[in-house]
Structure formats: C-alpha cells, structure tokens
Amino acid sequence: MHPRYPNVFSPVRVGPVELSNRYYFAPHAIPLNVGSAPSDDFVAYCTERVKDGGCGLVILSCTAHQRGRSFQPSPYPKKNIAAFAALADAVHRAGGKIFGEIWYHWMTPGHWQSMAPQAPSFGPSVSQFAFNGISGSTRAATRGEIAMIVDAYHQSTVHLREAGFDGIEVHAAHATIIEQFLSPYYNRRTDEYGGPLENRMRLLVEVLQSVRDAAGSGMAVGPRINCDELIEGGYASSDAYDVVRSICTQGLVDFVDLDVGMEPLQLKYGMPTVFTEEFSYRPFVEKVRGAAGEVPVLTVLGRVTKMNDAEAAIASGVCDLVGSARQLIAEPQFVKHAREGTEDQARTCIACNWCLGGINYRVIGCTINPASFRERLWGESTFTAAARPVKVVVIGGGPAGLEAARVAALRGHDVTLLEAREELGGALELWSRLPGRDFYRHAIDWWTRELVRLGVVIRRGKPAAAQEVLALAPDAVIVATGASYSQTGRSAFLDQDIPGADKPHVCCPEDILEGRVQPSGKLVVVDAEATHTGSGVAELLGRRGAEVIMLSPNYAPYSHREVMSLEGDSIAQRMAEANVVFQATTWVRGIGDHDLQIVDVNSGRESVIPGVDAVVLATGRIPVDAIARELEGKVAQLFTIGDALGVRPLATAAYEGQKFARLIGEPDAPRDVAEVYFAADGPVVR
C-alpha cells in the first residue's frame, strides 16, 4: 500500500480489464497523427505518461469516421489498424492499458481546423450554430444517417479490438452527435429519437449495444456523459442521473466517465481556464455518481494538479478513477513523482490553455514544458550528459532563461544565472500579479526549485554588465533578458510614436505591476496587443476604484488566441465586473495634459476624451538586447533567446531555452542563433 496515496495506487478492475492504478491520461485532441493514423510522435507522446510507473490507463480520443475531424486519428479506415496496434503495443510494454474514446462530431464532418465544413452538417434536428468562426445551421439527420453513425462506431470498435485496445469509451458529451440527441436544447425531433428522455437517449443505447457487440468479452465499454450541460434549455443533473442509471441497470456498460459543460456554449466549464477554481466538477459529479451503483466512475474533476485531491476524491467515493489531460501535458511524470515522493520536482499546469489554443492549426505545445508533444526528440530519456561540460552563464531569469539554465545544468554544465530583478520569472512573474492569474507563480516556483536542486548559482538584484559576465570566463552565454513595453506608444497596429507619450502622467504596465506608479481617477488604458496584459491592467485599476476606459484598435479586448484558449468570455466578464468601459476600433492621435485625442479606425471620425488623469500604454514590447551586442565576438557561443531575440508568445520562451541549452557543449555546435535559424540547411534541431 502506498503511504500517501493508497487509493490512487491501488489496482482496480474496469469490466474485464485490470488497471495497475487509478490515475488515467484523459482523452483530448492530439494533432500528431499522419493522415488519420497515429504517428511515432503520437506513440512517444502517450507512452511518456505511462512508463516508469505512470498512468495506469490512457484514453485516446479518436473519430468514429475518417471525416470526423481530420487532425484526429481515426480507427474507421482498416488501413490504420497497424498504426493503432503499434500504439497499443507501446502502451502495454510501458506498463499501461489503453482505451479508445470514439466520437462523431455534429457540426463539421470535414476539416474542423480549416474553419469551413466540407459537407452540410447534420444533427438531431434543424439548429443554428456558431463555432470557431463558422456559423450556419444543421439539418435533421435521416434514419439512414443515424444507422450510418451507429455503424461507424461499430466498425471503429472492431478495428480497435483487432489493434489490441483494452476498452472503448463512447463520447456522449461535449456536443458530439450523441449528446446532441440527448440534449433537449438541440433535439427537437418528433419521432422515436426525440421528445422524452427515453427517446432522446435512444441513439446512445443503440451505439452502446453496437459497440458492446463489436468489442466482445475482452474489452471494457462505457460512455463519457455530461453531468450537467450548464445551458438554459439543456439537460441538468437529474436527466444525467436517469441516463446513467438506465444504461448501468441494463448492463450495457463497464464504466461511466462523468464530465461537465456543453460545447460550444459552455466550453470554459468543459475546459477550465486559470480563472476557474480547481476541483470545479466535484459538486456536479456528486449529484450523478450514485446512479452508477457498483459500476466504476471516471472523471477529470476539473483542473486536478495535486495528487492529494485525486486521493481525496477516490477515498470519499466521489469516483473510482481520476484523470487529467493538461496536468499530464505539463508534467508527464506527474504520477511517477507522486508514487516516488518527489512531487516537488513536478511541474504544475498553470491553466493558460496554450495547449488548447493552437489545436485548430496543429500548432500545439505547452508554455512551461517545451518537451510536450516533442517527446520522441525531447522526452525525459533524451537528457544525456553533454559531450563536453562547459561553463555557462545565463543572463535573465524569465521563462527562457530559467529553462535554459535548468536544461544546461541537467546536461552537466556549470551554470550561473544572472537576474536584474529580485524576483525570478520575468514577464510571467509580472503577469502573475494580474487579477486571477496568481496561479502562474507555480511555474516560477518549480523552475526555482529545480535550479536550486541542480546546483545552479543564482545572482539577482543587479543588472548584468558585460565585463562582469566575461569575468566569469564563460564558454557559452545565453542572453534571455526579455522585453519591456514601448515608452512611446509604438505598436503593431501603428509603428509610430504617439504624440504626448512622454508626458509625466503616461506610464506602462510594468510601472503599475511593479508598484512604481499607482494612478487613480479617470484612467485610459491604450491596448494594441490584445493579450491579457492590457485587459488585466484595466481590470486591476478598475477593481482599485479608478474610472477606466480601455481603447483598442481591435474589435475585442482579447485576440483570437484568447478565444481559442477559452479566456475571452472570462476576460470580458471580469472587465465588466470592474466597470471598465471598452472602446473598440479606436486609436490615439495624441495625448494632452488632461485629454486624449482619439480616432475611430474604421470611419476616421475624431473625438476627445476629456478629464484624463493618467494614461497606460500597453501598445507593444521591445526586446532588451543591449548586452548581447556588447558580448558579440567575445565568447565561443552566444545565444540570444526568447523575447530578447524577438517578442513572441510566452511558449516560445521556454522552447528556445531548452532548444539552445541542448546545443551547448556538442561537437560542431552552432556559435549563435543565426547559425541555427538561418542556416542554409535549416534548424539544427526542431
């Protein structure tokens, strides 16, 4: 029995399948397939979370038809069986079991990420939809199409059984076609598939019966069902209870996976953001759990980042197994660390949803773990000692510098990190001071602990000077000094200074977040980035009691990235709660002593905002790279990385930190960034 987590690390039987522990890798989109088949990268991604005593179970999201979503793997084509078999075999050899979560989407049976359906969408009945920039209406599925859906699940199950999978999860949540039939919000049919709950759940029952028949006696079968759709007109926990009780008493299932929130209307609940409390699903699961009786209940519980929460949920009977996706994306060894008592070495997912925000474009990664989705090249087992350990100086303690120092130390180099501020974390530390984003501190704390554990020398509180760096006699220097906000108002929208930006009542976000300026009265935040900085500062000032107007040349106080990361609605709501007035499609012509001259960027109509006490320019950041230029030609290897090289999304920072730290001390390694990014034969490493 495990001393701290006896329930998590106890075996459990799910139908005919015995699992070694009760923590599972939850199903989610993984755009690492080639065509519609899992790739070698896909296999490495899954097994990284299972090996060395990790997750007892992987549940793989896959489509019931090859046109369900093109970036997701599909077991429907027979040609893909071999690839799925390779995946199952790898998971088994790593010590785990694997289920396939099969689903069929209701809206776009074509290329979801192309933002346009390839064929008319169908659902239970005629409905209007708007999702991912697509809007339109569905038509009612015919009985022939319903039979086709059931057959797609059946054939996919047959192929996964032949591939050696251990179980099938029928996805009946998150607006899949089955949930559309279950939901009174969308299902307005008047035939045997619509009306009372018994009819609305008919498709689910038919699919489960078909899957059970195809799976045979050796595979576990169960559904993923929402406890509550959380939308007016949808089904609530009482309906979910009745559905679960019915399918369990009929003996159709070996397990039930309970979830929350209807996609797309309540995605922020289905995939909680940093603004959502951890463990947020528990009260919903508790209302439905009893309907399952002795049938094992699985759930992700909503942002589980600590194993003691999973242990408590199982011990109290809320569920029998706990899973996560994002926590295991951020920390593949999460379960292993809990088992071995080394949890202080485990990253904590900060719920920034970067992993989610790029799914549509197959640009996926993790802000704090650049090795995620690159396990074949950068997985835990790829950390080998450097060919030649050398002395490394890292300048800057933001995410880029922290990751560079960590990886360099892991590879055996002698590492010193120099940070100008007293606090490590760079821009991430400043962003952690924004309302609702204090969870970002977990990443900084983890990096700090790791550097201390690995023996990195950390000097802070003083800007690094070139002579000081050279006095350390480094063989390699990594400059990760970040970026600072433009003091003149230059932006990507208009690369020109704003007249009056030099006035004493004008400041930047850093001034406020570091406490140098505390403006009050009537304030104007000028935001051209459409990131969380401008909106966060506006909210912060509004909650302090200031009268805040936020101007932006954009149509919303957030970008498409925040839409895809599901933060957009929360940002707008929080700004409204702080009484921030948002003025879209507006730019600043000039800043006066007590007013702003503004212009509507569409009409060209000019106007004035009077009585302004202070202006905050969140217009854009500029690389801080002076020391890199001073060190050119004076050290054997000099890499400028992260925002110091060019301001880009936060995830790029840690990625470049690891990328370039892996090159130090290697034979024929590049001497600078240009040799990597601009070499004729392309980047040295991915």
Note the pLDDT tens digit of each residue in 269-278. 667 888 888 8
Question: At which of 621, 649, 669 does a domain end?
Answer: 621
Let me know whether 34 and 175 are in one domain.
yes
Whether 384 is in a domain gets the answer no
Dist. CA 23–CA 28, nearest whole Å: 15
Let me know whether 318 and 199 are in one domain.
yes
Let me know whether 222 and 314 are in one domain.
yes
Let me know whether 541 and 615 are in one domain.
yes
Dist. CA 478–CA 460, nearest whole Å: 16
Dist. CA 89–CA 332, nearest whole Å: 19
Q: Tens of pLDDT along 358-405? A: 666 666 789 999 999 999 999 998 988 999 999 999 999 999 999 999
Question: Are the C-beta atoms of residues 587 and 598 closer than 8 Å to each other?
Answer: yes
% of the chain beyond a pLDDT of 70: 90
661's tokens? 């730290």
Let me know whether 161 and 218 are in one domain.
yes
Dist. CA 422–CA 441, nearest whole Å: 15
- Band of residue 122 on the pLDDT scale cut at 50, 70, 90: low
The candidate with the shortest Cα–Cα distance to 307, out of 27, 55, 19, 29, is 55
Let me know whether 177 and 304 are in one domain.
yes
Whether 168 is in a domain gets the answer yes
593's tokens? 């002593």
Question: Are the C-beta atoms of residues 160 and 100 closer than 8 Å to each other?
Answer: yes
User: The domain spanning residue 441 has which CATH number?
Assistant: 3.40.50.720
Let me know whether 461 and 399 are in one domain.
yes
Question: At which of 596, 621, 646 does a domain end?
Answer: 621
User: The domain spanning residue 77 has which CATH number?
Assistant: 3.20.20.70
Whether 358 is in a domain gets the answer no
**Residue 230's pLDDT is what?**
87
Let me know whether 327 and 415 are in one domain.
no
**Residue 65's pLDDT is what?**
77
Question: Are the C-beta atoms of residues 31 and 69 closer than 8 Å to each other?
Answer: no
Whether 101 is in a domain gets the answer yes
Whether 159 is in a domain gets the answer yes
**Residue 487's pLDDT is what?**
94
Let me know whether 332 and 419 are in one domain.
no
Let me know whether 287 and 398 are in one domain.
no
User: The domain spanning residue 592 has which CATH number?
Assistant: 3.50.50.60
Q: Tens of pLDDT along 516-542? A: 999 999 999 999 988 889 999 999 999
pLDDT of 460 above 50: yes
Q: Which domain holds residue 603?
A: 488-621
Q: Tens of pLDDT along 466-494? A: 999 999 999 999 999 999 999 999 998 99
**Residue 270's pLDDT is what?**
65
Whether 360 is in a domain gets the answer no
Question: At which of 331, 355, 378 does a domain end?
Answer: 378
Q: Tens of pLDDT along 152-165? A: 999 999 999 999 99
Give the HSE-up count for residue 677: Cα atoms under 13 Å, Cβ half-sphere.
11
State which of 123-137, 275-289, 502-516 shows the largest mean pLDDT: 502-516
Let me know whether 40 and 176 are in one domain.
yes
The pTM of this model reads 0.93
What is the bridge-based pairing of β-strands 220-226 and 167-172? parallel
Let me know whether 264 and 404 are in one domain.
no
488's tokens? 């003149």
Q: Tens of pLDDT along 589-638? A: 999 999 999 999 999 999 999 999 999 999 999 999 999 999 999 999 99
Q: What is the mean pLDDT of the chain?
A: 91
pLDDT of 264 above 70: no
**Residue 676's pLDDT is what?**
79
- Band of residue 134 on the pLDDT scale cut at 50, 70, 90: low
**Residue 130's pLDDT is what?**
53
Whether 261 is in a domain gets the answer yes
State which of 168-172, 351-355, 381-385, 563-567 shows the largest mean pLDDT: 168-172
Q: Which long-range contacts (CB under 8 A, 24 or more apart) does 3-8 make?
A: 4/307, 4/308, 4/311, 4/338, 4/341, 5/307, 5/308, 5/310, 5/311, 5/338, 5/339, 6/311, 7/311, 7/314, 7/315, 8/307, 8/310, 8/311, 8/314, 8/322, 8/338
Q: What domain count does the chain have? A: 3
Q: Tens of pLDDT along 88-97? A: 999 999 999 9
Give me the sign of the Cα torsion angle 248, 250, 254, 259. negative
**Residue 127's pLDDT is what?**
62
Whether 386 is in a domain gets the answer no
Question: Are the C-beta atoms of residues 323 and 96 closer than 8 Å to each other?
Answer: no
Q: Tens of pLDDT along 646-680? A: 998 889 999 999 999 999 998 888 888 888 776 54
Dist. CA 18–CA 37, nearest whole Å: 27
Dist. CA 36–CA 403, nearest whole Å: 34
pLDDT of 345 above 90: yes
Dist. CA 283–CA 64, nearest whole Å: 31
**Residue 667's pLDDT is what?**
87
**Residue 112's pLDDT is what?**
42
Identify how many contiguous H helices and E strands the chain contains and give both numbers: 25, 28
